[in-house]
Amino acid sequence: MISMATTSNPAKSGAAKSSPAKIDLAKIKEVRDSVDRLYSEGRGADRLMEGITDLLNEQMLKYNWVGFYMLEEGTTPPVLVLGHYRGAMTPHTRIPLNQGICGAAASSGKTVVVDDVHKDSRYLACSLETKSEIVVPVFVNGNVVGELDIDSHFPAAFRGEDRKLIEYCAQLVGQRLESK
């Protein structure tokens, strides 16, 4: 009797189901599954990047600007060139490796997460509303060839599972580029 009363408390189970953390995790899993579907459709890298850009921007509430920058082949010194993107138009369509958070991620080969862009002197502004940003490099055979850049209107939007999802997307694009 006691255990029935404890386990069937609708108020408790309802509260647990609707907690924001659980909703976020369920959404991240759903989006990850959709990314897997895009990959398994056998799209070329370009169409995969387009699909990922659309999916992340449409499905993830806090991913307000999503885009890929790719290293231009044969340019010395190297420059990142804006590819597929969703969100506000940006003045930064070509970024040298010594500039911006984008340049820092590509030149170090490491994910850069900025919880408050206004406190980071490297930040190149795209939109006045942006509060946080993540840039994840894309690798082909161990070399950086580009990156996935996401801006949020919310501070510190790219921790934990969000970061893992975005790194997973960048990794799939690298894999597809490698296999072409």
Minimum CB–partner distance for residue 152 and ligand SME (Å): 10
What's 159's DSSP letter?
A: -
Minimum CB–partner distance for residue 140 and ligand SME (Å): 21
Site of interaction with ligand SME (CB under 6 A): 65, 90, 92, 95, 100-102, 123-124, 126, 133, 149, 151
Minimum CB–partner distance for residue 102 and ligand SME (Å): 3
Choose between 50 and 133: whose C-beta lies nearer to ligand SME. 133
Choose between 151 and 162: whose C-beta lies nearer to ligand SME. 151
Choose between 28 and 95: whose C-beta lies nearer to ligand SME. 95
Minimum CB–partner distance for residue 21 and ligand SME (Å): 27
CB atoms near residue 2 (< 10 Å): 6
Rg (CA), the chain: 19
Q: Which residues of 14-36 are buried (b: 16+ CB within 10 A; e: fewer)?
A: eeeeeeeeeebeeebeebeeebe
What is the enclosing helix (H) or strand (E) of 80? Answer: strand 79-86
